[in-house]
Amino acid sequence: MVQVDSSGESVPERRARVGELVRGLGGADLVVLPELWAVGYFAFDAYAEGAEPFEGPSVSDARSWARELGAWVHLGSFVEMDAGRLFNTAVLLSPEGEVAHVYRKIHVFGYRSREAELLTPGDELPVADTSFGRVAATTCYDLRFPELWRGLVDGGAQIAIVPAAWPAARREHWRLFTSCRAVEEQVLLIGCNAAGAELGGHSRVVDPWGAVLAEAGTEAGVTWCDVDPAVVERARAEFPVLADRRTDLTFQGADV
């Protein structure tokens, strides 16, 4: 996980710095970046100017990094321009540099933020096959919506990657929700949060039992973690809570 600080430099400078950092991560099987790290989450006035087509510099750079490292690279998310609309788009690249998974953030944030004003919400929950299991993604604010997460599991997800720009003011919510979603959905959760002014850091990896396998601090940098993806199958077999779900019920409001 690469915890990026998006303050104090131009976008080209940041791209160059992060690219050099990622290229130095030889030996990694998976590299994960945070949400909107290139333009900077809070740089709302720069979203339109910094928006890219899908095959723009973000995906192009990530293709190159993945091929050079021979690793899976989740580029975090970028502001995508498509047919005149802007999306908060996250992408996973295979070690061959091929696009394996694309997720457009479904719950765009409106509380003291212009994201919901500027960006169009996505409407799909894809799941992708990888060499280490079935992978899905959500982005930041999506953590607060358990029905979305249950949809990922219904789609076969075993691993969930969560790029984020979660604020420091609600850091404990970030820690709570990343642990909660990992346990309730019995997934291996990899959450990469941004660092810097107003942002909370504390990127973390949580297994299906709620064990925190790695957690960063508040500074920018790289956090390494060795994980066994088979922990998901073992947890679901030993404690089959998902199999005990009741899906045959219809709940109605009380009469008043």
Which residues are marked as active site?
A: 35, 105, 140
Contact 32, 74 (CB under 8 A): yes
> What single-letter amino acid sits at 51?
A
Contact 221, 194 (CB under 8 A): no
Contact 6, 14 (CB under 8 A): yes
Contact 44, 3 (CB under 8 A): no
Element (H, E) at 136: strand 133-137
User: Phi and psi at residue 44, in whole multiples of 5°?
Assistant: -60, -35
Report how far residue 24's alpha carbon sits from residue 197's, in angstroms, rounded to the nearest whole number. Answer: 25
Contact 42, 195 (CB under 8 A): no
Contact 65, 21 (CB under 8 A): no
Query: How many other C-beta atoms are found inside a 10 Å radius of the C-beta of residue 147?
Result: 6
Q: What is the dihedral of CA 33, 102, 237, 243, to 10 degrees?
A: 130
Q: Who's near 225: CB < 8 A, 6+ residues apart?
A: 1, 205, 213, 214
